[in-house]
Amino acid sequence: MKWTYDPSVDALMITLLPGKRSKRAEELRPGLICDYDDAGHPISIELLEASSHLPLKNLESLPLPGVMLTLSEASRLAGLDAATLRQQIHNKRLRATKRRREWWVEPSALQEYLDSRAPQGRRNGRKNSARRPVTIELVQTPSPSRQYSRASSAPGLRTPDRAGQASRKSPKDSARAKARR
């Protein structure tokens, strides 16, 4: 059993069976939500507005929930389609949890998946050429909205441009741009 408290939304989560996937969620009473697995067993209980039911001193001593990414955020950071990541979740190659209708991925699980991927495309031709690692670096900005950026050493992957939007850059694209000039 695992207890976590998130002060940003004032919610207490009691996880009864860690690692199980939620099949459905039911609001037992206003502010009390229970998640169930395929067999109908309770997996977790979420208490909203927890500070009105329990002393704040006790709640603040509980651990904070880890940083989690939605599937769309994870796909943006990895430079992969969300459908690809969803398929890898179903194939049990990417660890994720489902809360209601949304998949949530831990950054460490996403990094493990990216590290385990086989190289794609044509071989380099060099005998001892090593594959460049893809690294995900989360930077949380002080603004209230969650914005992350990714730094990567691999060519051809999505990188943040000056406007904060992801742009696709590859050696072929830069050669084409030079040829047009």
Domain ranges of the chain: 2-60, 66-117+133-153
Distance CA 135, CA 126 (A): 23
**The pLDDT value given to residue 22:** 85
User: Does 129 score more than 60 pLDDT?
Assistant: no
Q: Assign 132 a pLDDT band (cuts: 50, 70, 90).
A: low
State the pairing for strand pair 32-36/42-48.
Answer: antiparallel
Q: Return the structure tokens found at 78.
A: 């990895």
The CATH architecture one would assign to domain 66-117+133-153 is: Orthogonal Bundle (1.10)
Please say whether the beta carbons of 13 and 6 come within 8 A.
Answer: yes
Share of the chain above pLDDT 90, in %: 29
**Cα–Cα distances in Å, from 149 out to 118, 140, 145, 146?**
24, 8, 13, 10
Average pLDDT of the segment spanning 23-44: 93
Q: Return the structure tokens found at 51.
A: 């500070």
**The pLDDT value given to residue 62:** 77
Give the pTM: 0.41
